[in-house]
């Protein structure tokens, strides 16, 4: 039997989960993460390609549709310390060069500071932020205009072409979604202070707890298990209207699935966790 050279993990994230230090909520989702973390350890990736959506923290006044980070760190947030990511500069530069050559006018980032969208899956799936070399690949999921789902799928396929040529075991992560509507992202602005963000989140949190849309989440996960790209693109196109502004982050799942070779996913867990204001999903595929 051939050994898989690519493992794809798509997982929701939530600051509420980070603050839930007593693990009072989301037990089904946490159990799924523990299962997948073991799988990642057994897979022992040589490099991680991490598709994440910025929450208007790293990118405020200039917002690229697609970017590749050549160096990056993680900001301290929700009681978690910051740290530096171990970005393999040569491989990251090779990915950037390839994407430009095949027609994606990406941005190249250096020394950017990323938030929980990138930090949480790394902490959940490995021992530390620097357990593996990681290439952050930000996709704009927060500040309109957003890249179309079809273009995101094409972008992921272009990343797959590059990965096919590097002869390494690659863990591909897509992080964000499913249905949720964070109060700070409902505000149509490109910039706000951390203090204003905290005030808006606190004022709107109770209402956000009631904005999870399990029917939309289930439809998206069903399409993922058959890798029905037409249906996935259709659902992602209406994500904001039907599942909240945070559901736009499933673009990272589309990119990750395409980068993994476009294989059907196995659903590991789904749990609508009101206290985390998010429909928490977890799925994997492997090639």
The answer to whether 116 is a known catalytic residue is yes
* Identified catalytic residue from 98, 116, 190, 240: 116
The gap from C-alpha 144 to its chain's centroid, in whole angstroms, comes to 18
The answer to whether 180 is a known catalytic residue is yes
Bridge pairing between strands 72-74 and 83-84: antiparallel
* Identified catalytic residue from 13, 55, 98, 180: 180
How far apart, in Å, do the first and last CA atoms of the chain sit? 12
**What CA–CA distance (Å, rounded) separates 139 from 255?**
9
The residues annotated with a catalytic role in the active site are 116, 180
């Amino acid at each position: 039997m051939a050994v898989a050279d690519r493992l794809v993990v798509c997982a929701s994230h939530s600051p509420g989960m980070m603050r839930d230090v007593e693990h009072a909520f989301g037990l089904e989702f946490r159990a799924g993460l523990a299962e997948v973390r073991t799988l990642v350890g057994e897979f022992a990736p040589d490099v991680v390609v991490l598709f994440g959506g910025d929450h208007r923290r790293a990118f405020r006044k200039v917002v690229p549709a697609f970017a590749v980070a050549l160096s990056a760190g993680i900001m301290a947030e929700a009681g978690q310390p910051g740290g530096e990511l171990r970005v393999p500069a040569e491989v990251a530069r090779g990915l950037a060069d390839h994407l430009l050559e095949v027609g994606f006018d990406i941005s190249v980032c250096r020394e950017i500071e990323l938030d929980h969208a990138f930090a949480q899956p790394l902490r959940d799936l490995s021992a530390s932020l620097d357990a593996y070399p990681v290439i952050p690949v930000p996709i704009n999921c927060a500040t309109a205009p957003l890249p179309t789902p079809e273009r995101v799928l094409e972008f992921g396929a272009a990343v797959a072409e590059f990965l096919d040529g590097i002869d390494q075991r690659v863990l591909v992560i897509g992080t964000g979604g499913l249905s949720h509507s964070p109060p700070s992202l409902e505000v149509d602005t490109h910039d706000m202070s951390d203090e204003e963000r905290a005030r808006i989140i606190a004022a709107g949190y109770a209402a956000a707890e009631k904005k999870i849309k399990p029917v939309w989440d289930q439809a998206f996960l069903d399409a993922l298990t058959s890798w029905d790209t037409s249906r996935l693109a259709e659902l992602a196109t209406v994500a904001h209207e039907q599942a909240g502004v945070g559901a736009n982050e499933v673009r990272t799942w589309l990119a990750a699935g395409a980068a993994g070779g476009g294989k059907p996913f196995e659903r590991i867990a789904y749990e609508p966790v009101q206290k985390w204001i998010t429909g928490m999903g977890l799925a994997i595929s492997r090639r």
